[in-house]
Structure 1
Amino acid sequence: MPRISADQSTRRAFARRAVLALAVLAVAGVGLRLTLDGGAESAWATLAGPALRAPAAATALDADLERRFEAAQLDAAAGGVELRITSGWRSAREQQRLVDEAMTRYGSAEAAHRWVLPPERSAHVAGLAIDVGPAAGAQWLEQHGSAYGLCRVYVNEPWHFEPLVAPGTPCPELQPDAGAALG
């Protein structure tokens, strides 16, 4: 078997590091593209796992909400619970698409608005709402969310949380659904 010189060994190590760096950049680039195209947080969770999410600047998620969630996510992980954002900030266009799909599915604006609000009323469009998963993570956040000022909002959406109160303050009563907010 031929001996590898120190110079060849150094070049091979450099090549391995370069390939790894390019792979990391490729994943980051795909994640950014998916985020900008409306794939939001779930694209990052799929590509890189729950520990890596899209940067706040790319998602327009409120910075305070982002910090609160990250603190909750760390504490959940310390307790062995996976907690990730499945949907965060949405553009008005994406929100309207969701409304249109819900209207097709449920047959009326009133029924659709039980699940998804129009863009001008959506906390997601304002960057002030997150949907979380998996189910065990959402349950954990419902139990512990008030410590971070993150509150579940709707009875019919166990995944939807908003920064409604100061950390450590009890959360308000749940609303039956998003349509109740339209009054």
Structure 2
Amino acid sequence: MYGLGQGRSDAAVGEQGDPTAASDRGAVGPVPADQTDDGVVGECPEQNDEGCDGDAGQDTVQDGTDADAHVEAVSDALVATGLDPTLARRLARAQAAAEADGVVLTLTSGKRTAEEQEGLVVAAIKRYGSKREASRWVLPPESSAHVQGLAVDVGPTEGALWLGEHGLDFGLCRTYANEVWHFEALPKGATACAPMAPDSSSGW
């Protein structure tokens, strides 16, 4: 099992397959902001007239400050790369809060083309010596959340661990136990992340 390195060169082994083959497509660095994380892990982030809304508070710009405008700009830039708008907003807010905590949180891989994903599958099989072992770290294009723009890989290691601890506050969930860097959006209406799968092999 390989860990994350530093900055954009972190090549998450997960769906990125070969750590040397990670794509920086859509990578956006840390967002400086004076936001703080005031969410409560495991609880509904905000109530509305219909009860708990899993997207409320996680996807909206709150104060109209310059920092909020910057977060929105980063989110827009991520969406322009093909990343899902909800996921982009949540990641941008998490980056801002991480920066406020003195933690660098960088996107290392987001939206991928089917061709890029297939290349990672080939590289992973070559690296790990078998399709069975590679399947623990990479999914084929037809089942990859990255290809759908619904997953992000983050780094460096400190940033990934920070997001693992605080991700639910922003509606972000780590999905695989063997990948500290891979996150997807909490489904609308959900109040807690689903249990992590051991690895990605069940997606084949």
- Fold match, TM over 0.5? yes
Where do 1:141-152 residues align within 5 Å?
141-152=163-174
Q: 1:180 to 1:168 in 2, by over 3 A?
A: closer
**TM-score of the two chains, using structure 2 as the length reference:** 0.63
Correspondent of 1:70 among 83, 92, 105: 92
2:186, 2:131 → 1: CA distance? 26
> Structure 1: where are the runs of 5+ without partners?
1-37
Query: How big is the shift at 1:180?
Result: 2.3
1:86 aligns with 2:108: yes
1:120, 1:82 → 2: CA distance? 32
SS in 2 for 1:161: strand
1:160, 1:57 → 2: CA distance? 18
Q: Which has the larger radius of gyration?
A: 1
What is the alpha-carbon root mean square deviation over aligned residues?
A: 2.1
Query: How big is the shift at 1:167?
Result: 8.0
Tell me if structure 2 keeps the 8 A contact 1:84–1:134. yes
Query: How big is the shift at 1:174?
Result: 1.1
2:174, 2:24 → 1: CA distance? 23
Aligned partner of 1:34 in structure 2 is none
Aligned partner of 1:96 in structure 2 is 118
> Structure 2: where are the runs of 5+ without partners?
1-22, 32-72
SS in 2 for 1:82: coil
Q: Percent identity?
A: 50
Code of the residue aligned with 2:26 in structure 1: it is: E
Where do 1:116-155 residues align within 5 Å?
116-155=138-177
Correspondent of 2:130 among 108, 121, 124: 108
**Which structure has more RCO (C-alpha within 8 Å, separation ≥ 6)?**
2
Determine which structure has the larger helix proportion and give its number.
Answer: 1
1:139, 1:121 → 2: CA distance? 25
Deviation string 1:41-76 (CA, Å, 9 cap, x unpaired) is 34x54xxxx349692354200011000111111111
SS in 1 for 2:182: strand
Code of the residue aligned with 1:93 in structure 2: it is: E
**TM-score of the two chains, using structure 1 as the length reference:** 0.70
1:93, 1:181 → 2: CA distance? 18
Aligned partner of 2:35 in structure 1 is none
1:86, 1:116 → 2: CA distance? 15
Aligned partner of 2:26 in structure 1 is 41
1:142, 1:167 → 2: CA distance? 20
